[in-house]
Structure 1
Amino acid sequence: MSLKITAPVSLGAHNLVGTDVPEVDYAVWASAATYALGDRCIKDNAIWECAQDGNLNHSPSADDTDWWLFVSATNRWKAFDLDQFDWTEKATSFYYEFTPGIVTAAHLVGLRDASSVRIRLTDPVAGLVFDSLNQPVGRLMTEVGWWAWGHGTRRMVDQVHMYNLPAYSAATLRIDLAGGANLGVQSVVAGTVKAFGRGVHQGARLGIDSYSKTGRDKWGTAKLKKGAYSKRVNFTVTIHANELDELTDFLVESDARVQIWNVSDRWRSTKLLGFTKSWEQTISSYAYTDVSFELEGVAANG
């Protein structure tokens, strides 16, 4: 298959229509309040921690170097902060609605305790133009029958990738999730898709970089502390010669930008929320060029 790359559009407070995920992690920053070392507050959809005592009338977003430390996005916005991989959480169900402009793909990555996902696009003139209906996720049966229900194998579905959304510039994108008490999602991405190449070569290499701490004490006993990790994908794709300049321009423009990379539809592991570490083109013939990629994923909690 062709290499598919989803370039995300911004999903944030500026185009939010509605959500039932509250933003109550901490109190909102107040200019009249005096904050002590370690106190936390919310400002501009982010959580900030006070860096020193006697903090009065220093805005976190303006005076973050000396007075405040950025902690993370708020729970409502964690799934849309593509630089950090953490869960937006709300028990049993939650939804978001945005007016993102034209999007042709939607992705939910890192689903936890989820049972279904539904994605809809509604245009103010044409009405409902896309409805995925409730897509089952979680640990799903691979066979049908009572024996399979009790003893059969199950496959994990912890991500959803929807392509070929119709391009409506004024449509509202609605995302609904349902599940259990620990329902959460790590990343929600919507954007436009670029497809390149005749196909990805066999021999793609997958792996992780682990940030866990491992070692041994003086008696040789293993000391292990689980930490975050990031995925790696290395592969080569053959593109048509007339795609070379277009792909080069696209990669230069999207340098240091997190995107959804789909190397193969067959596996979850070949879909990556990440960025290019390096890439190299080899003009192998008049008609074709081979492009080698080294991708790194956003760090995820272990």
Structure 2
Amino acid sequence: MRALPPITITPAILTSTTCAEPSAGEAVWSAGTTYAVGDRVINTTSHRVYESLKASNVGKDPALVANATWWLDVGPTNRWAMFDLLRNTGTSAASPLTVVLTPGKRVDAIGVVGIVADTVAVTVTVSGATVYTASANLLKRPTSGWYDYFYGAFRYRQEFARFDLPPYTNAVITITLTRANGSVTCGGVVLGSSVYLGATQHQAESDALNFSKIDRDDFGTATLVPRRSVPRTVQALRCRKTDVDRILQLRDDLNAVPALWSGLDDQESGYFSALLIVGVYKRFTISMDQPEDALISLELEEV
């Protein structure tokens, strides 16, 4: 199990992106325009989307705290949605979507989740020279027999993670998502320095909190209202007692802070996606009843 605490992606770190701002369907706030209730605008300085709360809304800058009664902060703009880990948002753009990041500090891991694309590639350059490349074909056809091999539907793998980036201070990291047909989507990008927690033990569990509404009337007829299902994982980890102090610090650092958690290093494993989550821990118990090893009980929940 590895945890990846994210660095905050700021305008200074986001060197460039092919996703425009405003994107299609977004309107930049204008001081001279009168907005009705429900009208939405974006601010290209705060990179947020705002919804008008009142009629005859004119001259009220939505980015100012003083105008909070006039505007509701809905969330990030399309360009910045992939960097907002506190909401279940994503960036959609024409293929290829290319994002260039300059962290300005050492990072050794990256995770990209919520992907809808055929391929993903990560390149690290230092002083113009390429020092690292990694890519993956995300279009998969799971098979359980010859019929599925020839006729089964293709599915997208939605996660990509690498924990072996060379930790250069002056690294430039480029992420590229491509898709032959349709736009690409990137649900989230997590960049930082990973921390090894321990070996994931057998009997790990993948679960989900289902917020859909399921009601039945007096005759048993069901009324179904589909809503979001939030992934959860439960796993036990074994770590060395010499690592406990470092893990305790990580537990404090990630209190109510979203991070990327990867239960397996083998990304070709059928369990890899089930044990990779961007979220927060709900339970993080360390049992120290063994002389040399500690057992961690970890319960994670997606944000």
The answer to whether the superposition gives a TM-score over 0.5 is yes
Letter in 2 for 1:236: A
> How far is the alpha carbon of 1:207 from its aligned partner?
0.2
SS, match of residue 68 in structure 2:
coil
Partner in structure 2 of residue 5 of structure 1:
3
- How many Å separate the matches in 2 of 1:16 and 1:284? 46
Residue from 40, 51, 54 that aligns with 1:52? 54
C-alpha distance after superposition, 1:106-158 (max 9, x if no partner): 1111212x111111011126x111112x4211224769x9x876336866522
* Distance in 2 separating the partners of 1:287 and 1:46: 50
2:193 match: 192
Q: For residues 200-215 of structure 1, what are the structure 2 equivalents within 5 Å?
A: 200-215=200-215
Q: Is the 8 A contact 1:79 1:85 kept in 2?
A: no
SS at match of 1:181: coil
Where 1:27 maps in the other structure, the secondary structure is: coil
Mapped partners of 1:142, 1:214: distance in 2: 32
Following the alignment from structure 2 to structure 1, what is the Cα–Cα distance between the partners of residues 208 and 277? 12
Q: Which of 113, 127, 134 is residue 124 of structure 1 equivalent to?
A: 127
**TM norm structure 1:** 0.89
Whether the 8 Å CA contact 1:201–1:235 is kept in 2: the answer is: yes
Aligned to 2:108: 104
Unpaired segments ≥5 residues, structure 2: none
User: What is the CA distance between 1:217 and its match in structure 2?
Assistant: 2.8
What pairs with 1:1-302 in structure 2 (closer than 5 Å)?
3-24=1-22, 25-43=25-43, 44-63=46-65, 65-100=68-103, 101-112=105-116, 114-124=117-127, 127-132=129-134, 134-140=135-141, 150-151=150-151, 156-179=156-179, 180-197=181-198, 199-264=199-264, 265=266, 266=269, 267=271, 268-298=273-303
Partners of 1:152 and 1:45 lie apart in 2 by 42
Q: CA deviation at 1:58?
A: 2.5
CA distance in 1, matches of 2:221, 2:183: 35
- C-alpha separation in 2, matches of 1:6 and 1:181: 31
User: What is the distance in 2 between the residues matched to 1:241 and 1:281?
Assistant: 10
Q: Aligned partners of 1:229, 1:148: CA distance in 2, in Å?
A: 27
SS in 2 for 1:223: strand
Check whether the contact 2:143–2:149 (CA below 8 A) recurs between aligned residues: no
State how far apart, in whole Å, the 2-side matches of 1:290 and 1:185 are: 35
Normalised TM-score (structure 2): 0.88
Q: Using the alignment, how far apart are the partners of 1:215 and 1:269 within structure 2?
A: 29
CA positional deviation for 1:50: 0.5
Percent pairwise identity: 26
Give unpaired runs (5+ residues) of structure 1. Answer: none
Instruction: Please tell me the residue identity of whatever aligns with 1:123.
Output: V
Q: What is the SS of the residue equivalent to 1:247? A: helix
Relative to 1, partners in 2 of residues 1:215 and 1:74: Cα closer, same or farther, differing over 3 Å? same
Runs of 4+ in 1 over 6 A off after TM superposition: none
Q: CA deviation at 1:30?
A: 2.6
Q: Could you tell me how far apart the structure 2 residues matched to 1:52 and 1:29 are?
A: 15
CA RMSD of aligned residues (A): 2.2
